[in-house]
Amino acid sequence: MHRGKRNVSGLTLIELLAILAILAILAALLLPSTNGGGKARIPWCMSNQKQIDLGFQVFAGDNHGEFPMQLSVTNGGTMEFVQSGKVFPHIQNISKIYDGHYMGILICPTDLKRNAATNFQDLNDLNISYFLNSDVSTIKPSASVLTGDRNLEAVNWPVKSGLFALTTNIFMRWTDDLHSRRGCLSFADGHGELVSANLNSIIRNQPLSTNRLCVP
């Protein structure tokens, strides 16, 4: 029998792996998990923080590398609001950069205790899931934390809302509230990380020995 040549138009292995990777990411964003979606929705949470981070990066780019928490109100910053421990004044300050961005980026998808605000004018800390490091540094940006999940625990006690002085000698970890003893962080250079047992090593590696965190 004569066999004609077959034109194979199937996917290559690399193309198949790429498609599977995309499907895995979509599943992580859309499917619930046994812990309120905590593990499955980590990519979503990391994406939120990277978008928030980008807004601060743009501000710093327009202000000689200074973040709003490091400039006085008279110079367009929010330095005077740091002592209150509130996060929302700093977000409101750069809200124009987001250009009407969906308010949901301020809420971790597993944070059932927080609801997204309808607009930046009415924003308060009950509409935010992420802490903000007011002492974020550009000296060593890849190691300096800018934002992170609010469910921090210090020496076996949950960190309360307000201003928290994070020092390198305090034992820190995550509570079970959001991502099952794991958490997401974004850094001054714009990258994000999923962090678990290495939280304390990241804290010790920061360029400053003390960082004041505004915790919502």
Q: 96 pLDDT band (50/70/90 cuts)?
A: confident
How confident is the model over 116-160, as pLDDT tens digits?
999 999 999 999 999 999 999 988 999 999 999 999 999 999 999
In degrees rounded to 5, what are phi and psi of residue 174? -95, 150
> What letter does residue 180 receive in the DSSP assignment?
S
Distance CA 112, CA 177 (A): 9
DSSP H/E element including 132: strand 130-133
CA angle 87, 162, 212 (to 5 degrees): 80
Around Cβ 79, how many Cβ atoms within 10 Å? Answer: 18
Are the beta carbons of 149 and 172 closer than 8 angstroms?
no
Cβ count near 36 (within 10 Å) = 17
Confidence band for 41, pLDDT divided at 50, 70 and 90: confident
Give me the sheet containing 210-215, strands edge to edge: 162-167, 210-215, 130-133, 145-149, 183-187, 192-195
The ranges assigned to domains in the chain are 41-215
The pTM of the whole model exceeds 0.85: no
What is the four-CA torsion angle of 119, 126, 30, 192, rounded to 10 degrees? Answer: 90
- Residue holding tokens 């020496």? 155
For the chain, the straight-line distance linking the first and the last C-alpha, in angstroms and rounded, comes to: 76
